[in-house]
Amino acid sequence: MKNTQKITPFLWFETGAREAAKFYLSVFGENAKIEDESKLDDTPSGTVEIFTIQIFNQEFTLMTAGPFQKFNESISFVISCDTQEEVDHYWNSLSAVPESEQCGWLKDKFGVSWQVVPTALGRLMGDSDREKAGKVQQAMLKMKKLVIKDLEDAFNQI
């Protein structure tokens, strides 16, 4: 059955939407699938390939249609992770531009920005003890990949 979500992220790739779709399927494994693929010939951009994929039941459309705007960090996709193992998996699978890494943000090999965030971060930074929460924030600001144990250690320093 076709997903009926109201808003679908649509990513325009200069080249490689097929490669990106396959890559994201490999990263998200059983939680991802290709829903549809199509090709449009004789468009102003030449031949256009369109792929609809689903990641954790969220539909994304990927299109190869030649030069357009480059991806940038003003739009990113957040992956909420319950364990450090999950953080490590997504970080190691997606991160391809080390100079763009900061505070859990990374950029993949296609230039798409992701935030790999442990659910513990929200709990720790949302604590009613603002001094402890501030220590977590300061620790997070010094990290590239977020490390749950280090965030918890910062929280428990006081």
Which tens digits make up the pLDDT trace of 10-69? Answer: 999 999 999 999 999 999 999 999 999 999 999 998 999 999 999 999 999 999 999 989
| pLDDT exceeds cutoff 60 at 1 | no
Contact 21, 13 (CB under 8 A): no
Amino acid at 41: D
Contact 125, 86 (CB under 8 A): no
CATH pick for 76-155 out of 1.10.1530.10, 3.10.180.10, 3.30.565.10, 1.10.1750.10: 3.10.180.10
Task: Give the H or E element holding residue 11.
Answer: strand 10-13
Residues 75-117 have pLDDT tens digits of 999 999 999 999 999 999 999 999 999 999 999 999 999 999 9
Helix, strand, coil % in the chain, rounded to nearest 5 = 35, 30, 35
Task: Give the H or E element holding residue 73.
Answer: none
pTM score, whole prediction:
0.92
Q: How many CA atoms lie within 13 A of 115 on its CB side?
A: 14
Strand segments, DSSP code E, in 30-133 are 32-43, 46-55, 58-64, 76-81, 105-107, 113-118
| pLDDT exceeds cutoff 90 at 5 | no
